[in-house]
Structure 1
Amino acid sequence: MARRPDLVIFDCDGVLVDTERLAVRLEVQLLAELGWEITEAEIVERFVGISDGAMQRAIEERTGRPLPPGWHEESTLRYREAFAADLGPVPGVVEVLDRLDAEQITTCVASSGSHEKMTFTLGLTGLDHRFAG
């Protein structure tokens, strides 16, 4: 017989909110602008789940130069625009959260992304009220 969990911890990106699909598409464009032609599959293989700092180091190593001034700000703006236009919850996650709520099982979010990013993406998808803090 399965034991009832006391707590369920969710990753944010790709588990609660469908950011990865949009981010991968945008990263192909951003890297092409830096001279690195890369496929969506390669983006997933190299970058999904790593920190922004690790991604920056990999980009700079591959292109042989530092990222241009303002690149972080510009790319952040473009991510926000893409998410605002098309971000939704991962299919089925609302039903899972409803069931956990009904069974009074505590949930929380863990992410390598910033608190500000999680607040933004959870807010866009209407999931923010389900997670305090």
Structure 2
Amino acid sequence: MPTTSNISYRAATKDDFALTLRIKTNALRQYIEEVWGWDDAYQYNFHSESFGPTRILIIQANNTAIGYIETVETETTVHIFNILIEAAYQQKGIGTRILNNILDKAGIDKKAVQLEVLQINTKARQLYERLGFVILEKTDVKYIMVKAKI
């Protein structure tokens, strides 16, 4: 059974392309298949175009990569583009711990935190709502959620 007692982060590098693609595939494929259908070539190309290692922290449990978080900060907002955790490590409080760290720092910096979630990803949406996020906007397939500045 995977342990999660020692969670750490490391900066991503260009060499993490395959790792982040694998993590994204494992974490999101079921949702993407249901909403749009899955196409390996399209997903590879999309990841190639959007991969930005300077925005990514690799999440590690006991020095094993188990996920990643991708964020961009502006003067007023922390935008979370991805928070993806391998299935074996989900439902263990890791996502909550990571989000609370982001929310704590955003509170100190007096910034809002914004993210998007697919409507069919109810577990993630429930986590975000439990942490105080509210739906700002609804698209055909996503919710744009925000936790306002404190």
Higher-helix-fraction structure: 1
Calculate the TM-score normalised by the size of structure 1.
Answer: 0.31
- Larger gyration radius, structure 1 or structure 2: 1
Calculate the TM-score normalised by the size of structure 2.
Answer: 0.28
Higher-strand-fraction structure: 2
Structure number with greater CO (CA < 8 Å, separation at least 6) is 1
